[in-house]
């Protein structure tokens, strides 16, 4: 695996790759990798000729009171994991490489960016879109792989790719969970044992939502109320939002028909976690 830190070098390497007619798969990450990231890497390795992973903790997607400084980092462990998987290139730019002195250009995907997590994290998706578009312009991948865990991010990035006529396909892969249901996240590293146990109520409430649908419930308000009741029974957990929305515009839906996204964000102590599931009405 080649580790590259400069844009000019990674562009040169990948130009050579493309000149041989090879396809490029790309997995953008902020590091502190877990099985969720590795599932994306494996999919890329299976479906493209050359796999590029980036690790860049993007300051533009963190609010002033968010955990940019404390965000977990372990580049040595991350590169060992990626090397073992058989990744071809690891791109690790520093902040000045991506946002040099005088940087002024940002990408906004209107409406979608203000919903769900966008309400409490203004500017977050602007930061995500900007860095992802920059990375696409640097790597020029054929396929880029993202996790369903960040469902809103995936919807917004698909919109951006479509709106800006980008030549990249976005693949969204399922959430990877621990055996007990906790969705994998780099931020799980912040949880105490007690908080981790409390956090299980999030995935349990999403399972309950699906099971209500299976028993015939179609009213989203009833489902959200039941989820809220379950989560509120955990004193360590504070709900930020629970919503059932359509999967393209992310607008709240009143009645379940075929498919909808149940998404939530909650604080477990000081740790903000998100989780979601695609609710399906069978038949």
44 binds ligand PAF (CB under 6 A): no
Question: What is the closest distance, in whole angstroms, from the C-beta atom of residue 93 to ligand PAF in the complex?
Answer: 12
- # residues near ligand PAF by CB under 6 A: 10
Question: Which token pair is 245?
Answer: 């929305």
Nearest to ligand PAF of 134, 220 (CB atom): 134
Question: What is the closest distance, in whole angstroms, from the C-beta atom of residue 124 to ligand PAF in the complex?
Answer: 9
Residue 20: active-site member: no
Q: Are 14 and 139 in contact (CB under 8 A)?
A: yes
Nearest to ligand PAF of 51, 153 (CB atom): 153
150 binds ligand PAF (CB under 6 A): yes
Question: What is the closest distance, in whole angstroms, from the C-beta atom of residue 109 to ligand PAF in the complex?
Answer: 14
38 binds ligand PAF (CB under 6 A): no
Question: Which token pair is 6?
Answer: 């400069």
Nearest to ligand PAF of 39, 220 (CB atom): 39
Task: Out of 117, 131, 138, 154, point to the residue binding ligand PAF (CB under 6 A).
Answer: 131
Q: What length does the chain have?
A: 283
29 binds ligand PAF (CB under 6 A): yes
Q: CA 157 to CA 213: how far, in whole Å? A: 29
Task: Out of 39, 44, 51, 61, point to the residue binding ligand PAF (CB under 6 A).
Answer: 61
Nearest to ligand PAF of 61, 148 (CB atom): 61
Return the HEC string of the chain: CEEECCHHHHHHHHHHHHHCCCCEEEEEECCCCCHHHHHHHHHHHHHCCEEEEEECCCHHHCCCCCCCCCCCCCHHHHHHHHHHHCCCEEECCCHHHHCCCCCCCCCCCCCHHHCCHHHHCCCHHHHHHHHHHHHHHHHCCCEEEEEHHHHHHHHHHHHHHHHCCCCCEEEEECCCECCCCCECCHHHHHCCHHHHHHHHHHHHHHHHHHHHHHCCCCEHHHHHHHHHHHHHCCCCEEEEEEEEECCCCCCECCECCCEEEEEEEEEECCEEEEEEEEEECCC
Task: Out of 48, 58, 185, 205, point to the residue binding ligand PAF (CB under 6 A).
Answer: 58
Question: What is the closest distance, in whole angstroms, from the C-beta atom of residue 61 to ligand PAF in the complex?
Answer: 6
Q: Which of 20, 34, 37, 124 is catalytic?
A: 37
128 binds ligand PAF (CB under 6 A): yes
| Interface segment toward ligand PAF; rule CB under 6 A; list 22-30, 77-85, 91-99, 192-200 | 22-30
Q: Are 145 and 24 in contact (CB under 8 A)?
A: no
| Interface segment toward ligand PAF; rule CB under 6 A; list 1-9, 105-113, 128-136, 272-280 | 128-136
Task: Out of 4, 7, 25, 28, point to the residue binding ligand PAF (CB under 6 A).
Answer: 28
4 binds ligand PAF (CB under 6 A): no
Residues that bind ligand PAF (CB under 6 A): 28-30, 58, 61, 128, 131-132, 150, 153
Catalytic residue IDs = 37
């Amino acid at each position: 695996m080649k580790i590259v830190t400069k844009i000019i070098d990674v562009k040169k390497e990948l130009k050579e790759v493309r000149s041989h007619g090879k396809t490029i798969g790309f997995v953008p990450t902020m590091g502190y990798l877990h099985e969720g990231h590795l599932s994306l890497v494996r999919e890329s390795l299976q479906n493209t000729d050359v796999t590029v992973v980036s690790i860049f903790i993007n300051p533009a997607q963190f609010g002033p009171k968010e955990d940019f400084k404390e965000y977990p980092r372990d580049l040595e462990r991350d590169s060992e994991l990626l090397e073992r998987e058989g990744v071809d290139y690891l791109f690790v730019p520093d902040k000045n490489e991506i946002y040099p002195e005088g940087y002024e250009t940002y990408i906004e995907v209107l409406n979608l960016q203000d919903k769900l997590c966008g309400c409490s994290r203004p500017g977050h998706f602007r930061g995500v879109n900007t860095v992802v578009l920059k990375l696409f312009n640097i790597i020029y991948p054929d396929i880029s792989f993202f996790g369903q865990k960040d469902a809103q991010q995936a919807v917004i990035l698909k919109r951006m790719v479509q709106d800006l006529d980008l030549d990249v396909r976005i693949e969204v892969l399922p959430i990877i969970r621990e055996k007990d249901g906790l969705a994998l996240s780099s931020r799980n590293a912040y949880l105490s044992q007690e908080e981790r146990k409390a956090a299980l109520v999030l995935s349990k409430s999403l399972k309950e939502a699906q099971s209500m649908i299976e028993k015939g419930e179609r009213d989203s308000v009833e489902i959200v109320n039941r989820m809220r009741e379950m989560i509120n029974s955990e004193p360590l957990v504070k709900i930020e939002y629970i919503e059932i929305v359509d999967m393209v515009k992310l607008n709240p839906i009143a009645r379940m028909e075929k498919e909808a996204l149940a998404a939530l964000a909650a604080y477990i102590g000081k740790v903000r976690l998100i989780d979601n599931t695609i609710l399906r009405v069978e038949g």
